Amino acid sequence: MKVLKEIFGELHGETVYSFSLENSSGMKVSCINLGCIITDIIAPDKMGNLENVVLGFNDLESYIKDSPYFGAICGRVAGRISNSAFELDGRIYTLPKNDNMNHLHGGPDAFDKKIWDAEEIELDGEVGVVFSFVSSDGENGYPGNLSVQITYKLNEQNELTIGYSATTDKKTLINLTNHTYFNLSGNLKDDILSHKLQVKSNKILELNDHVVPTGEFLDVTGTPFDFREGKKIEEAVSSNHEQIKLVGQGVDHPFLLDEHHNEEIALFDEKSGRKLIVETDQQSVVIYTSNMMEENFNIRGTKARKYLGICLETQGLPDSINHPQFTPCILDAGDEYKTSTTYKFTVSK
Q: Which residues are catalytic?
A: 179, 313
Please give the angle made by the CA atoms of 25, 347 and 339, to the nearest 5 degrees. Answer: 80
With 0-12 / 13-18 / 19 or more C-beta atoms within 10 angstroms meaning exposed / middle / buried, residue 9 is middle
Q: Which amino acid is at 2?
A: K
Please tell me the distance from the alpha carbon of residue 180 to that of residue 188, in angstroms, as a whole number: 14
Beta pairing partners, 277: 266, 344
Please tell me the distance from the alpha carbon of residue 158 to that of residue 161, in angstroms, as a whole number: 10
DSSP-derived secondary structure for 63-111: HHHH-SSTT-EE-SB-SEEGGGEEEETTEEEE----BTTBEETT-TTSG
Closest to 166 in 3D by CA, of 93, 73, 80, 84: 73
Please tell me the distance from the alpha carbon of residue 194 to that of residue 185, in angstroms, as a whole number: 10
Please tell me the distance from the alpha carbon of residue 164 to that of residue 152, in angstroms, as a whole number: 9
Strands 177-178 and 80-81: unpaired
First to last CA, the chain: 26
Please tell me the distance from the alpha carbon of residue 99 to that of residue 81, in angstroms, as a whole number: 10
Three-state DSSP class for 320? helix
Please give the angle made by the CA atoms of 106, 214 and 251, to the nearest 5 degrees. Answer: 70
* Nearby residues of 13 by Cβ (< 8 Å), 6 or more positions away: none
